[in-house]
Chains A and B, each alone.
Chain A
Amino acid sequence: MNSLRRLGQYVLDSVEGLGRASLFFLEVASGARKLIRRFDLVVQQVFAVGVLTLLIILVSGLFVGMVLGLQGYNTLSKFGAADSLGLLVALSLVRELGPVVTALLFAGRAGSALTAEIGLMKATEQLAGMEMMAVNPVERVIAPRLVAGIISMPLLAALFSAIGVLGGQLVGVGLLGVDSGAFWSQMQSGVSFHEDVLNGVIKSVVFGVVVTWIAVFQGYESVPTSEGVSRATNRTVVYSSLAVLALDFVMTALMFK
């Protein structure tokens, strides 16, 4: 009976949390409209969220592409289809790995930093101080970060996929001797802009919204102590990773019939 009650309580809490997060999102979204006049705030956050995540994205993208080149070659050459290596590398990256791995790395690098930063601002009363200075922290602090996350994610994912393709080419063509012409032409004829590239971009935009939303919400709702902030940071990474993977499944099912 007790565990049943706990389960019920847990479900209720979760639903309530979701409701609060949704209302918070609406509040931020309506605050974001005022950012057109304060675009400098967004630029600052694109630096913090996007530029500072760039290096890890580029390095990971390169390695993921190279691994795809190696593994793909090993499997494809068994069927005498090594010429399709470019297609395999590009499709894997553009459809799935680019958006998903970028979103996971983004959650770990930028998302956790966002949560910690906002949580710390709350713990040190900076947000309360803004309120008392008649500045709405949701408009001034949260909204620019959300917008910056949504702008940065597709760009990061595109960079990841692009450098991944180059990494695949490096291994496939440079090391394993796949014909360069076949590598690129198979890729071009097999990868469709509308179905593959565009859907990948849509995925990464959705991931950008979700991961940044979770990050700023967890920061804003965190218990304003050092323990509370570290817990919130942890939750950001766990929740956003799960959300990204689950949403990826749903979107893949809808997009690639």
Chain B
Amino acid sequence: MIQRRQLELWVGVFVAAGLLALAMLAFRVGNLAAGAVTNGYSVQAEFNDIGGLKVRAPVTLAGVRIGRVSSISIDPSNYEAVVTMELDGRYNNIPVDTSASILTAGLLGEQYIGLDPGGSSQYLKNGGRIQVTQSALVLEKIISQFLFNVASKPGAEKK
């Protein structure tokens, strides 16, 4: 029954191709690979304002993606945003005095966390905390700040 074998072969090829496509969607298109940080560790950072940062946003160091945001919450004592990041275990030599800032990809792109390494010889550990942070730039605030500055400049109105 050659015909039957052929049919089964085709079905096998079809199912395998479909699963392959699904895997591609998961790992190449989606962020399942990035999400599954193996033996990673988590660190926290507090920000005044996280702007439009979302869970699963990338965390980069010198532009290289080394982790992702795993959760965002509010510290009830000081009303600051607590961002927990999951970092890849391979990058375990990040100094404790590293600073974290929320950056925007392009002018209107999505927001991510950029790490700026410090000079300390002690490294961040699981559950550690990044002390120096810079909040997101919120466009409205920048504009109003700019307008305020212009208005308060002496002589600005006389011209």
Q: Verify whether A and B have any Cβ pair under 8 Å.
A: yes
Q: Do B34 and A192 touch (CB < 8 A)?
A: no
B75 contacts the other chain (CB 8 A): no
A201 contacts the other chain (CB 8 A): yes
Q: Indicate which residue in B14, B25, B32, B110 contacts A94 across the interface (CB closer than 8 Å).
A: B25
Tell me how far the C-beta of B105 lies from the nearest C-beta in chain A, rounded to whole angstroms. Answer: 8
- In whole angstroms, what is the CA distance A172 to B17 when docked? 24
Q: Do B14 and A191 touch (CB < 8 A)?
A: no
Q: For residue B32, which residues in chain A have a CB less than 8 angstroms away from its CB? A: 193, 197
In the complex, chain B residues 51-91 whose Cβ is within 8 Å of any chain A Cβ? 56-58, 65
Q: Indicate which residue in B24, B26, B108 contacts A81 across the interface (CB closer than 8 Å).
A: B108
Q: Indicate which residue in B19, B30, B105, B112 contacts A197 across the interface (CB closer than 8 Å).
A: B30
Given known A189-B57, A196-B30, contact A81–B109 (CB-CB < 8 A): yes
B7 contacts the other chain (CB 8 A): yes
Q: Do B7 and A155 touch (CB < 8 A)?
A: no
Given known A43-B11, A46-B14, A54-B14, contact A162–B30 (CB-CB < 8 A): no
Q: For residue A161, which residues in chain B have a CB less than 8 angstroms away from its CB? A: 21, 25, 29
Q: Please, which residue of chain A has its CB at the minimum distance from the CB of B35?
A: A193
- In whole angstroms, what is the CA distance A162 to B30 when docked? 11
Given known A161-B25, A201-B22, contact A192–B56 (CB-CB < 8 A): yes
Given known A80-B106, A81-B109, A159-B17, contact A188–B11 (CB-CB < 8 A): no
Given known A159-B17, A193-B30, A196-B30, contact A50–B24 (CB-CB < 8 A): no
Q: Please, which residue of chain B has its CB at the minimum distance from the CB of A184?
A: B28
Interface residues on A, range: 35 or more
Q: Please, which residue of chain A has its CB at the minimum distance from the CB of B32?
A: A193
Q: For residue B21, which residues in chain A have a CB less than 8 angstroms away from its CB? A: 155, 158-159, 161-163
Q: Indicate which residue in B8, B29, B106, B108 contacts A188 across the interface (CB closer than 8 Å).
A: B29
Q: For residue B25, which residues in chain A have a CB less than 8 angstroms away from its CB? A: 94, 158, 161-162, 165, 197, 200
A10 contacts the other chain (CB 8 A): no
- In whole angstroms, what is the CA distance A241 to B74 when docked? 46
Interface residues on B, range: 35 or more
Q: Indicate which residue in B20, B31, B105, B112 contacts A192 across the interface (CB closer than 8 Å).
A: B31
Among B30, B57, B58, B109, find the residue whose CB has the most chain A CB atoms closer than 10 A.
B30
B123 contacts the other chain (CB 8 A): no
Q: Do B7 and A43 touch (CB < 8 A)?
A: yes
Q: Do B58 and A189 touch (CB < 8 A)?
A: yes
Provide the A35-47 mask, 1 if CB < 8 A to any CB of B, else 0. 0000000011011
Tell me how far the C-beta of A64 lies from the nearest C-beta in chain B, rounded to whole angstroms. Answer: 15
- In whole angstroms, what is the CA distance A245 to B138 when docked? 39
- In whole angstroms, what is the CA distance A192 to B34 when docked? 10
- In whole angstroms, what is the CA distance A183 to B33 when docked? 17
- In whole angstroms, what is the CA distance A196 to B26 when docked? 10
Q: For residue B109, which residues in chain A have a CB less than 8 angstroms away from its CB? A: 81, 83-84, 186
Q: For residue A119, which residues in chain B have a CB less than 8 angstroms away from its CB? A: none
Tell me how far the C-beta of A32 lies from the nearest C-beta in chain B, rounded to whole angstroms. Answer: 18
Q: For residue A196, which residues in chain B have a CB less than 8 angstroms away from its CB? A: 30
Among B10, B11, B26, find the residue whose CB has the most chain A CB atoms closer than 10 A.
B11
> B residues near A, CB below 8 A?
7-8, 10-11, 13-15, 17-22, 24-26, 28-35, 56-58, 65, 105-110, 112
- 9 example contacts (A-B, Cβ-Cβ < 8 A) are as follows A51-B10, A81-B106, A94-B29, A154-B18, A158-B19, A162-B21, A189-B56, A192-B30, A193-B35
Beyond the given A47-B7, A152-B14, A188-B31, please list 9 additional residue pairs across the A-B interface where CB-CB is below 8 A. A84-B106, A94-B25, A165-B29, A187-B29, A189-B110, A191-B31, A193-B32, A197-B29, A197-B30
Closest 5 CB pairs of A and B: A155-B18, A162-B21, A193-B32, A158-B21, A193-B30
